[in-house]
Chain A
């Protein structure tokens, strides 16, 4: 008998313990990103919601511009802009109830502000006078998180804890396309699915991780497809279509709240500005590419829809602009004041009680400050 004949005679059967866990097909994202604006679905969209989204988008665009201007004036150390991504930023905040939690990445200052955090407090990290400028418990917003994707397991743990306590709380965690390559992204999604935690993961695929395009980041069919591997649904949405992002995120939040478990949402968007003010985007992409995205701008998409439906006129536009200008003027005014700094703050809140070693170091700094003050002439400029 030949080897081939032997193989032919062998009828492999699955081992008795193995059985498929679930049908993966319902978890798969659609082939095309979900859209509302400019489609038949738009007619069903709530006019009040569209108007509210518009006002937030205009305000968000102005916020990005103002914050970027503040870096040029030396009032912010750095600002990672979300110009072009405002639909994702504001929708992420708007879909949550007051009792829910938002877990932003370092780029999501705008979502933090849209959630209700004071704009100056939200920029404390980027101004550099402290790390987190707001009390996370006041608006249930976790600190802006710089180490990529490390805030995602926090969202899972918090949502899990809330569920164990019987509280109706959903956590929405934000991450970028680059962050999906981090191990913490994988571990967070896996834990969330195993625990059926009420979490929504929003991936803003803005095309770049600083300079590295998505093609060098993943070989997956889409980032939303990654959900299937964890046993959760993946949804693909046009991230510049504010109505679509709002709807998809609302569905995911509703599903989590009802005990349906986590959802991964990939929003296709584009980072119109450089990574930060310190980055030079011309080194890795051409103007033509940026221009094509300007034509798919979140504010213009919504404006077209609202205008066509007679929901927005020149007065309405002006009102949104005026409100945004007032916010920007207030932000400018507050950010142009020097923040109060107390060097002795270095030693507070390292531990609940400072260790003996920190008490010694605190006294050392106190002595240095006193020596500095003594060395300065009367009315010195040291602050």
Chain B
């Protein structure tokens, strides 16, 4: 066995590799979307796939998201395993009717006779200086729809593993790609990819004793940074990366909170009606007697996504996270 020098890879490269490996492993896997063929996608995630597998396997579709997802439904009915790319978070909205009225519930409507193994890749979130309609955090809409899995990676290795698991899943998966992490790098060997774990398990990214930051996707690196900065304040923060919003890993999250006794949920999505409310409620219901303080939320504001020159005031950053940690009733300790 030859040793391959492990070079840093970007999340985008790991995603491309996951698509390529899935297409090579299973001829039923078809990639489709706007600009995914010749161009290789606006983020280049489908780079080289049309060349390697042909345009019938990696297809430039007409520019119509409902049509893309709607035809993917029919393809899945016939035994294919479509991987659909929605070009940007806010461009996915025309496909909502297909997603909610058909994709999410076809298995249930047909008593299991007609499952739809469709993966819907959605680049999401802000922080890339995008003009309006290019930076939404739309996960709450998907989470509120029974029948969908909702998954989002925060690391290069997870991008590969979770996308392979999503494509292999017999259920529809909304695969949210944090676009500001597309170019994040990590040492990751594409020749020996990370084993694919089933969807639905969170992971502790950083162990700590003082409080738990519960987060996912683009906010994971921000929380890691905040945890480092918190050491100066004497706080030893644990960071839980959810990886999967549906199903939700109550076990890992609650085990952490029971250890630390304090929790802050961090995400870019707005807080009102956002994922943090659900997570805070679940933690409180399960860990009430272990909690030293109410579960707090650090989120984007409840405003339409701001223009790029103002987005840094909207996105949860290290300071907003540390402010929240500071409000976790530490006075009770003394």
Segment among A23-31, A109-117, A182-190, A369-377 that sits at the interface with chain B: A182-190
Q: Mark B188-208, 1 if CB is under 8 A from A, else 0.
A: 000000000000100000000
B73: which of A135, A154, A348 is its contact (CB, 8 Å)?
A: A154
Closest residue to A173 on the B side, CB-wise?
Answer: B74
Known: A157-B75, A160-B75, A350-B107. Is A191-B64 also a contact (CB below 8 A)? yes
Please determine whether A190 and B67 come into contact, CB atoms closer than 8 angstroms. yes
A355: which of B76, B98, B169, B246 is its contact (CB, 8 Å)?
A: B246
Segment among B110-118, B129-137, B215-223 that sits at the interface with chain A: B110-118
Does B187 touch A at the CB level, under 8 Å?
Answer: no
Closest residue to B57 on the A side, CB-wise?
Answer: A164
Query: From residue B110, how far is it (CB to closest CB) to chain A in Å?
Result: 5
Does B94 touch A at the CB level, under 8 Å?
Answer: yes
Contacts of A153 in B (CB 8 A): 66-67, 69-71, 73-74, 98
For chain A, residues 140 to 161, give those with C-beta under 8 angstroms from any C-beta of chain B: 142-143, 147, 150, 152-161
Please determine whether A154 and B112 come into contact, CB atoms closer than 8 angstroms. no
Please determine whether A156 and B78 come into contact, CB atoms closer than 8 angstroms. no
Does B234 touch A at the CB level, under 8 Å?
Answer: no
Please determine whether A351 and B67 come into contact, CB atoms closer than 8 angstroms. no
For chain A, residues 113 to 143, give those with C-beta under 8 angstroms from any C-beta of chain B: 130-132, 135-137, 142-143
Closest residue to B282 on the A side, CB-wise?
Answer: A357
Does B329 touch A at the CB level, under 8 Å?
Answer: no
Please determine whether B67 and A191 come into contact, CB atoms closer than 8 angstroms. yes
Q: Mark A319-342, 1 if CB is under 8 A from B, else 0.
A: 000000000000000000000000
Does A48 touch B at the CB level, under 8 Å?
Answer: no
Please determine whether B64 and A161 come into contact, CB atoms closer than 8 angstroms. no
For chain A, residues 170 to 220, give those with C-beta under 8 angstroms from any C-beta of chain B: 171, 183-184, 187-188, 190-191, 194
For chain B, residues 281 to 332, give those with C-beta under 8 angstroms from any C-beta of chain A: none
Please determine whether A194 and B107 come into contact, CB atoms closer than 8 angstroms. no
Once A and B bind, how many residue pairs between them come within 8 Å at the CB atom? 137
Contacts of A351 in B (CB 8 A): 107, 147, 149, 171
Q: How many chain A residues have a CB neighbour from B under 8 Å? A: 40
Q: How far is the CA of A314 from the CA of B98 in the complex (A)?
A: 50
Please determine whether B67 and A187 come into contact, CB atoms closer than 8 angstroms. yes
Please determine whether A135 and B75 come into contact, CB atoms closer than 8 angstroms. no
Q: Mark B229-262, 1 if CB is under 8 A from A, else 0.
A: 0000000000000000011111100000000000
A187: which of B64, B73, B75, B171 is its contact (CB, 8 Å)?
A: B64
Query: From residue A172, how far is it (CB to closest CB) to chain B in Å?
Result: 13
Q: How far is the CA of A155 from the CA of B249 in the complex (A)?
A: 37
Please determine whether B70 and A352 come into contact, CB atoms closer than 8 angstroms. no
Does B79 touch A at the CB level, under 8 Å?
Answer: yes
Does B209 touch A at the CB level, under 8 Å?
Answer: no
Contacts of B146 in A (CB 8 A): 350
Please determine whether B67 and A348 come into contact, CB atoms closer than 8 angstroms. no
Known: A183-B66, A352-B115. Is A161-B110 also a contact (CB below 8 A)? no
Does A378 touch B at the CB level, under 8 Å?
Answer: no
For chain B, residues 77 to 113, give those with C-beta under 8 angstroms from any C-beta of chain A: 77-80, 94, 97-98, 101-102, 105-113
Does B186 touch A at the CB level, under 8 Å?
Answer: no
Chain A's interface: helix, strand, loop or mixed, by majority?
A: helix
Q: How far is the CA of A295 from the CA of B321 in the complex (A)?
A: 75
Query: From residue B171, how far is it (CB to closest CB) to chain A in Å?
Result: 5
Please determine whether A357 and B98 come into contact, CB atoms closer than 8 angstroms. no
Known: A187-B67, A191-B62, A352-B171. Is A156-B74 also a contact (CB below 8 A)? yes
Query: From residue A262, how far is it (CB to closest CB) to chain B in Å?
Result: 13
Known: A191-B61, A352-B170. Is A155-B114 also a contact (CB below 8 A)? no
Contacts of B66 in A (CB 8 A): 153, 183-184, 187
Please determine whether B170 and A154 come into contact, CB atoms closer than 8 angstroms. no
Does A301 touch B at the CB level, under 8 Å?
Answer: no
Does B72 touch A at the CB level, under 8 Å?
Answer: yes
For chain A, residues 299 to 321, give those with C-beta under 8 angstroms from any C-beta of chain B: none
Please determine whether A190 and B71 come into contact, CB atoms closer than 8 angstroms. no
Query: From residue A374, how far is it (CB to closest CB) to chain B in Å?
Result: 26
Q: How far is the CA of A190 from the CA of B63 in the complex (A)?
A: 10
Closest residue to A156 on the B side, CB-wise?
Answer: B71
Query: From residue A360, how far is it (CB to closest CB) to chain B in Å?
Result: 9
Known: A191-B64, A194-B62, A352-B170. Is A158-B110 also a contact (CB below 8 A)? no
Q: Which of A150, A345, A351 counts the most B-chain CB atoms under 10 A from its CB?
A: A351
Does B56 touch A at the CB level, under 8 Å?
Answer: yes
Contacts of A40 in B (CB 8 A): none
Q: How far is the CA of A156 from the CA of B171 in the complex (A)?
A: 21
Please determine whether B70 and A349 come into contact, CB atoms closer than 8 angstroms. no
Contacts of B102 in A (CB 8 A): 147, 150, 154
Contacts of A190 in B (CB 8 A): 62, 64, 67
Query: From residue B123, how far is it (CB to closest CB) to chain A in Å?
Result: 22
Q: How far is the CA of A147 from the CA of B108 in the complex (A)?
A: 16
Please determine whether A349 and B107 come into contact, CB atoms closer than 8 angstroms. yes
Please determine whether B74 and A159 come into contact, CB atoms closer than 8 angstroms. yes
Contacts of B67 in A (CB 8 A): 153, 184, 187-188, 190-191
Question: What are 16 A-to-B residue pairs whose CB atoms are below 8 Å?
Answer: A131-B110, A132-B109, A136-B113, A143-B109, A153-B66, A153-B73, A157-B77, A162-B78, A165-B78, A348-B112, A349-B111, A350-B107, A355-B248, A356-B248, A357-B247, A357-B250
Q: Chain B: residues with CB nearer than 8 A to chain A?
A: 30, 56, 61-62, 64, 66-67, 69-80, 94, 97-98, 101-102, 105-115, 146-147, 149, 169-171, 200, 246-251
Q: List the 4 shortest-distance A-B pairs measured between CB atoms, nearest first.
A: A157-B74, A153-B70, A187-B67, A157-B71
